[in-house]
A and B are shown apart, each in its own frame.
Chain A
Amino acid sequence: MNTSDVVAILAENWDMTHAEARDFLDVITQTFTENIASGNSFSIPELGTFGTTTRKKRKSYNPHYEQYMKLPPKRVVDFNPSKGLKEDLKQVDIDDE
């Protein structure tokens, strides 16, 4: 399912044009992005919690140079689905596309 599909459904449900719904969605996305990027964590009911964690630096192997390499620490987005979401989707059949 793509953004446009989501936007279509939203526009229909809320009696907006596609453009309006898209804009609204963009604002939501932007707010999420800003908060995540500044390290804040927040949770959306029935969806999950967004936050950041830091991956430690670690040793890895570069097959091209056939040498070990050090990977730097990395800050990543952390998403924990909420219980409802998890439960609902636990046993769904995943289509192979």
Chain B
Amino acid sequence: MSEKVTFGELIESIAEETEHSKQFTHDFLKDFVDIINGGLEEDGKVNIAGFGKFELQRVDEREGYNPQTEEKITIPAHNKVVFKPYKDLRELVNAPYAHMEPQLIEEEEKEEETTSNAEDHSSADHQAVDSQTEKSAIDSSSSIDEDNKQAQKEQKSESDIPESSEEQKLNEDDFIPTAPPTSHQQDSDEDKTSDKNQIETEEDFPFSFEAQQESDEDISEASASESSDDIEDYDNGDIVEFRAAASDTEDDLLEEFIGSEEKEQQDETSEDIEAVEETEPETNEPQEFEDKLDETGSSEEEDDDEEKEATKSEEEVLAEEVEKLEETAQDLKQDQQEQSDLEDKNSQYPTPPTSRPSDRSSSFSYVAAAAIVLLLIAGGAWYYSTLSTNDTTLISSSEEPTTSTDAAQEVNTQQQETEDSQESAQNQSQASTQSSATQQSTGNTAPDNQSVEIEEGQTLWSLAEDRYGNPRLWPWIYGNNGSLEDPDLIYAGSSLSIPLPSGPQNTLTSTDSVGVAKGFIATYKWYKSNKQSKAKNHLWAAKLYHDDLQQLADVPIDKTDLSYANKAR
């Protein structure tokens, strides 16, 4: 991975694949390039299906600068060649980050966000801890512990995943304090909560192309399922543009922090770390830190003693130091306060952004209005549906005495639904018991059923088309017959119970839709248990007819399929 492949190697692999000679493929490829060249000249764009397109884009004239002669140049307007990959290639290339999604952030946190940019752009030189930056270093102490904790966790997960690419290494720790925060606070405390949630996704990190190729589908499904989990911060997996080295052990982190500089800084940072300790007592750092602190504390006392003997300039220096320490103590208290505030915010972080206070009152009235409208519509629909079912039940109940004692009967397959009141009085279940009467009389809201014997050449699709005008509703029939197995195989001579729409022709009432959705769930289950990949498409289709699929299903639905059904719209 991440290696330079030579043109010759490419030719070799293509020649092998196409079973032509190397010379031939070489020439062919050259010709191909020529054609692209010609196409760009002629049309300005060349589309290569399954790969991408080459385009010419116009670049305006602009002023440039010749650094050698130090004179201004005008760069004339010209074209540039761009390559835009198509979706497949794009997705393959972005596979390591495929599970990440954009996240909305609250406006108050915007300031913290700037620090992340600063951090991203800052140099990798972590050795240069200036005294000027100490104050800001102190401010960021509260976030440092999260970084360390994050580093901890990521190290654990890292050890589970064999490293195979540079980029993977870079990904782990966005916030290892390799660079000193200059004038910005380091990035967000929100990472803390995300860390805990993100561990699973890190471990699922696709890290080798071979693995991806083998399990492309799995990954896409996995990412689909995880995307709902991953609305939180993804900072874990971010590229760290600076050195990857800063990740090996906590000790290394410590060292970086404490550094090899002057003791003053060492004191400062160890105090920072002490503050860190107070807020995150669970890390292993405490002991080490406290030890160091003890050392430095005692050394400070010695310094103070020496101060009296020292010259005035030294006194001043030390006095400054003491001042600074006092400030840091105050700042630490402040930070702890901020920390707890931010923790409160963090607990809310994963939830979707709430509307601003000014919007709440107006949005509430909108919601109320929408709710009222929906209630009216729902009420109307219910009323309408009960009207129609009332009719059929009246008719059917009158038919009942005459037909309830009938044995299994052949039924005319050509009649329309609403005219089928006579037949609908009979409801033959697939198990060939005659529970029609009971079902019919209780069916105020349940749709009526028509029993049909399958003729040769009929399919569920064709039956649905006959009955409903829409053959795509065939799973409704399937779902209504519990003993049907393979929906693609129905046998002539067997009987089916065909549910009839309870509304007017060519419309589906809500109860009908529920039935259709249940039918799709049934087909999904069968295909799933027979390991057919189209299973999840049926789940997706079920969602068209009813929203809450899990409610309709009596067994838990596979999560990946459910998110596929929810997602791909």
Contact = CB atoms under 8 A, between A and B. Distances in A.
B167 interface: yes
B9 to A, nearest CB: 8
Interface string A60-96: 1010010111111111110101000110111110110
Nearest to B5: A42
Contacts of B43: 1, 95
Contacts of A69: 102-105
A57 B93 contact: no
A73 B353 contact: no
A46 B48 CA distance: 17
Given A39-B165, A59-B105, A70-B234, 6 more contacts: A40-B3, A57-B238, A72-B97, A75-B94, A91-B79, A92-B56
A18 B212 CA distance: 32
Main secondary structure of the interface of A (DSSP, over half): mixed
B32 A28 contact: yes
Nearest to B121: A56
B353 A67 contact: yes
A2 B45 CA distance: 8
Contact residue range for chain A?
Answer: 35 or more
Interface in B92-133: 92-97, 100-107, 110, 113-114, 116-117, 120
User: Which 4 A-B pairs rank lowest in CB-CB distance, beginning with the nearest?
Assistant: A72-B100, A79-B83, A1-B39, A38-B209
B527 to A, nearest CB: 30
B353 A36 contact: no
B79 A94 contact: yes
Interface centre among A37, A68, A94 (most CB of B within 10 A): A37
Interface in B474-491: none
B167 to A, nearest CB: 6
B102 A86 contact: no
A19 interface: no
A78 B413 CA distance: 62
Contact of A85 (B1, B37, B42, B52): B37
Given A31-B10, A46-B30, A77-B89, A41 B4 contact: yes
B365 interface: no
B48 A29 contact: yes
Interface string B60-100: 00000000000000000011111101001110111111001
A25 B20 CA distance: 13
B44 interface: yes
Contacts of A95: 43-44
Nearest to A46: B33
Contact of B37 (A35, A36, A39, A88): A88
B1 A94 contact: no
A77 B2 contact: no
A42 B6 contact: yes
B7 interface: yes
Interface stretch (B11-19, B288-296, B465-473): B11-19
B47 interface: yes
B36 interface: yes
A40 B238 contact: no
Contacts of B407: none
B46 interface: yes
Contacts of A52: 93
B32 A33 contact: no
B90 A76 contact: yes
Interface residues of B, number: 83
Interface centre among B32, B52, B95, B235 (most CB of A within 10 A): B32
Given A5-B39, A58-B117, A92-B56, A33 B89 contact: yes
A57 B107 contact: no
Contacts of A37: 89, 92-93, 95, 209, 212
B445 to A, nearest CB: 40
Interface string B164-199: 010100000000000000000000000000000000
A91 B29 CA distance: 25
Contact of A88 (B7, B41, B52, B213): B41
B104 A6 contact: no
Interface in A1-45: 1-3, 5-6, 9-10, 13-14, 23-45
A86 B80 contact: yes
Contact of A74 (B36, B37, B94): B94
B18 A13 contact: no
B49 interface: yes
19 contacts: A6-B39, A28-B29, A29-B51, A31-B10, A33-B50, A33-B89, A42-B10, A46-B37, A57-B120, A67-B107, A70-B113, A70-B233, A72-B234, A73-B237, A85-B81, A92-B56, A92-B79, A94-B44, A94-B58
Contacts of B384: none
Given A29-B50, A68-B113, A95-B43, A6 B239 contact: no
A56 B165 CA distance: 17
A75 B239 CA distance: 10
B97 A39 contact: no
Given A77-B83, A81-B80, A10 B94 contact: no
B408 interface: no
B261 interface: no
Contacts of A85: 37, 40, 81
B382 interface: no
Contact of A70 (B7, B82, B105, B107): B105
Contacts of B45: 1
Contacts of B4: 40-42
Contacts of A5: 39
Contact of B105 (A26, A28, A46, A67): A67
A15 B482 CA distance: 59
